[in-house]
Chain A
Amino acid sequence: MDRRSKRALAVILALCVVLGGGYVVHAAFGPSRTTTDASPDAVASSVETPVMVRAVDPANPNLNGGVFVVADGKVRRRSKELACERVYFAAGRGICMGVAASGVDYGATVFDRRLRPEHSISLTGLPSRARVSADGRYGAMTVFVSGDAYLESSTAFSTRTYVLDMARGETIGQLEQFEVLKDGARFDAADFNFWGITFDPADSDRFYATLGTGSHHYLVEGSVGARSMRVLRDGIECPSLSPDGSRIAFKSRTGEGRWRLHVLDLASLADHPVAETRSIDDQAEWLDRDTLVYSDGTDVFVVDADGGGEPQLLVRDATSPVALRN
């Protein structure tokens, strides 16, 4: 290496250190938020059931938003501490999943009736779905994980779904480790992914979820205690059981990254679309026996479960609706 090369390298090194270091220092003192103070807007409606939501900043929809409750056409902030990407609540306990305060990783908080944090769980993936069983015993979380790029392994995405003991605030199982049966035989493949648990309102040990493998999206029915599942039907994603346990609202795939909300009758296994014609990527929630509540990513809507009527805007600038039925 001659002197000119040495000098050139020294100059480039100095430039890189100054530019890179300077930019980081500038960024460290600059605006850097992971949460938003945005507040949702309730739209006048005849809906009686209170709905919990998380706020969305329309300019930056992926910042963690505060937890609010919409009742009687009014919006009230319920917690100063909680900020979430996804929230769920039932029987006195809830789950709030979001970006950790550092912005480096993701975490979940289990909170109590007054929305005070009780436990925190570190998540190694992007929050996707959250559910709590009607009796408050079990919780469920789905995250997206990316395969690390070390040693040339695949960087494709996969999902992971955890079952939580809500009282202890700990994960007690991962669906990837449960046994799966299809037509009575053991069913397994390397590309198994699970997402979107919904618990049976009458028996929290029983749950439904989605199993993705190849081009199939199976509805599976499982038991937390037995750590097993069985395949029921193809073409059902993000199931959501009705309060009486007779029907399942779900996402029906209409194209790559496009879905239509449908309702399945469990007795007849027949299903029909609801009046929402736009593509919806959400695990729908039952507002009451006859109505679904869901988000299109920026606002919350309600629609009749029987396929009739029109979708109605319920809350502006909010996602992750939870019906507070009792």
Chain B
Amino acid sequence: MYQVEASKALLKPRLWARRPLGLRVPRNVVLLGIVSMLTDISAEMVATVLPMYLVFSLGASPLALGAIDGTYRGAAALVQVASGFASDRWRRPKEVAGTGYAMSALGKVALAGAGNTIAGIGAIVAFDRIGKGIRTAPRDALISLSSTKEGLATSFGVHRALDSAGAMLGPLVAFGILLVAPARFDAVFVVSTMFAVLGVAVLFLTVQGRPRRAPAPTEADDAPSFRAAAGLVRDPRFGLLLLAAAGLSVASISDALIYVGLQRKIDFEPAVFPLLFVVTAIAFMALAIPFGQLADRVGRVPVLLAGHAMLFLVYGALLLNGLDYAVLILSLVALGAYFDATEGVMTALAAAVLPERLQASGIGILITVVSIGKLVSSLAFGALWFAIGLEAAVLAFGVALALMLAIAAPLLLRAQRHPLHG
């Protein structure tokens, strides 16, 4: 019953199907995608207007929010590992993910009801971040357990496409509301709450909590131990995968710094800058499903490696003396393609290798390792930029990425060969 064919208009493959394949995406995956979309609409509505709200309605210094946000990122990363393990231990990925979604929804209610002090908004932003940390690993485990092993990358692609559609729609909905009701931020918060509540309702009322690949519930003492979850790190195949993921993430310049770099290279009109994000987001949304399918058909490791190679295009643009709009758009599309061919595909690789009973724990560990890798990358790139200049820093990262790709390729191929328990 979970193999119901999803909406064809949205999901039908065009580019890669030599014969009409019909994209069979598990119903649970589409539903989880819709939950993420609704939640992202809600989150992006608030993220879009929060700076304006803080300054315009509360008279706060804009610097206050930056400090608020940075503080809780670390906390969210740690929560990911814990929530992944809890979800495996209790065998309740849906409920653990639901707790994360519900926390974010509660945060929106608080914002609509009482978000009129800086400290209050700080607490709400923290709540939202932690909610996000809680839900990610169990949700990805649910996606994985709802899919066949052959269709994992496609499933993650479908989910990411729906998720990013929400991120695009959120700002549009927020601006739409402010256009008909200028400066009425309260209306934005109320509608954001409605989207968040709908997301939680769709999750609890429609998503199947024990999909087909989920381990059958047996006696309580059969639940995976913490030792087993922690032992994943030492497992030869998953360990190799983590190593490769860590190395690749350290050698990849973060998107935030890429935008800063591109911005130095071209004289933007003030109004153009936000469009950079939109171009990348559209490319990401459009390519998520085709790249997932490609990964399932021709192999996840080649697609993952090719995706990282897309970054060479972006690095190349950062090395040019001046940028015209054609090169700029090309590199932004390459950036979107890079995200599609890496994050979801890497999760699919891990999900295929991980035992069913430890899916969420493993994915939680992977996400945390990658986010630590990204942090190291950002710090290193910032330091290099300062020490030897932007171009030299980009060159150094280009060389590092080429090296990492050469090292990661055999590791990933070996990790993929034999699943842990299968």
Contacts and interface: CB of A to CB of B under 8 A. Distances in A.
B385 A188 contact: yes
Contacts of A44: none
Interface residues of B, number: 68
Interface in A87-141: 99, 101-104, 121-126
Given A149-B47, A157-B62, A160-B270, A177 B264 contact: yes
A12 B51 CA distance: 30
A281 B55 CA distance: 14
Nearest to A26: B187
Contacts of A5: 205-206
Nearest to B274: A124
Interface in B268-292: 268-271, 273-274, 277, 280-281, 284
A229 to B, nearest CB: 14
A104 B281 CA distance: 21
A208 to B, nearest CB: 22
B238 interface: no
Contact of B256 (A154, A171, A173, A297): A154
Contacts of A151: 164, 167, 255, 277, 280-281, 284, 339
Nearest to A60: B57
Contacts of B123: none
A248 to B, nearest CB: 23
Contacts of A186: 389
A173 B270 CA distance: 10
Contacts of A148: 47, 274, 277
Contacts of B256: 147, 153-154
Contacts of B273: 124, 145
A9 B44 CA distance: 23
A153 B270 contact: no
Considering residues A151, A160, A257, which has the most beta carbons from chain B within 10 angstroms of its beta carbon?
A151
Contacts of B197: 12, 16
Contact of A24 (B66, B187, B382): B187
A126 B177 contact: no
Contacts of B47: 148-149, 155
Contacts, number: 175
B62 A20 contact: no
A104 B179 contact: yes
B270 A122 contact: yes
A9 B271 contact: no
Considering residues A5, A33, A149, which has the most beta carbons from chain B within 10 angstroms of its beta carbon?
A149
Interface in A178-234: 186, 188-191
Given A16-B198, A33-B183, A189-B386, A150 B177 contact: no
Interface string B54-89: 011101011111100110000000000000000000
Contact of A156 (B57, B70, B270, B382): B70
Contacts of B386: 188-190
A162 B180 contact: no
Interface size class of A (residues with CB under 8 A): 35 or more
A34 interface: yes
Contacts of B177: 24, 27
Given A9-B201, A126-B52, A149 B44 contact: yes
A20 B191 contact: yes
A27 B193 CA distance: 16
A270 interface: no
A62 B62 contact: no
* Prevailing SS type, chain A contact patch: mixed
B178 A103 contact: yes
B329 interface: no
A177 B267 contact: yes
B128 to A, nearest CB: 11
Nearest to A191: B382
Interface string A3-24: 0011011001100110110011
Given A8-B205, A24-B180, A32-B181, A13 B198 contact: yes
Contacts of A28: 180-181, 184, 187
Given A1-B206, A157-B63, A189-B386, A124 B270 contact: yes
A27 B187 contact: yes
B191 A23 contact: yes
Contact of B183 (A12, A99, A173, A177): A99
B361 to A, nearest CB: 22
Interface in B158-197: 164, 167, 175, 177-184, 186-187, 190-191, 193-195, 197
B312 interface: no
A144 B178 contact: no
Contacts of B280: 150-151
Interface string B232-246: 000000000000000
Contacts of B51: 126, 144, 146, 157
A190 B281 contact: no
Contacts of A174: 267-268
A30 interface: yes
B338 to A, nearest CB: 10
B114 interface: no
Contacts of A162: 270
B257 interface: yes
Given A16-B197, A23-B191, A24-B191, A9 B178 contact: no
Contacts of B193: 20
A33 B181 CA distance: 9
A23 B190 CA distance: 7
Contacts of A153: 254-256, 259, 277
A128 B390 CA distance: 28
Contact of B182 (A23, A102, A154, A171): A102
21 contacts: A1-B205, A16-B194, A20-B190, A20-B191, A20-B194, A24-B180, A27-B187, A30-B181, A32-B181, A33-B183, A62-B59, A121-B270, A124-B271, A146-B66, A149-B167, A156-B66, A157-B51, A189-B382, A189-B386, A190-B390, A257-B61
Interface of B: 43-44, 47, 51-52, 55-57, 59, 61-66, 69-70, 164, 167, 175, 177-184, 186-187, 190-191, 193-195, 197-198, 201-202, 205-206, 254-257, 259-261, 263-264, 267-271, 273-274, 277, 280-281, 284, 339, 381-382, 385-386, 389-390
Given A20-B193, A121-B270, A150-B167, 12 more contacts: A1-B205, A9-B201, A33-B183, A60-B57, A62-B55, A122-B270, A126-B51, A148-B277, A153-B277, A155-B69, A174-B267, A177-B264
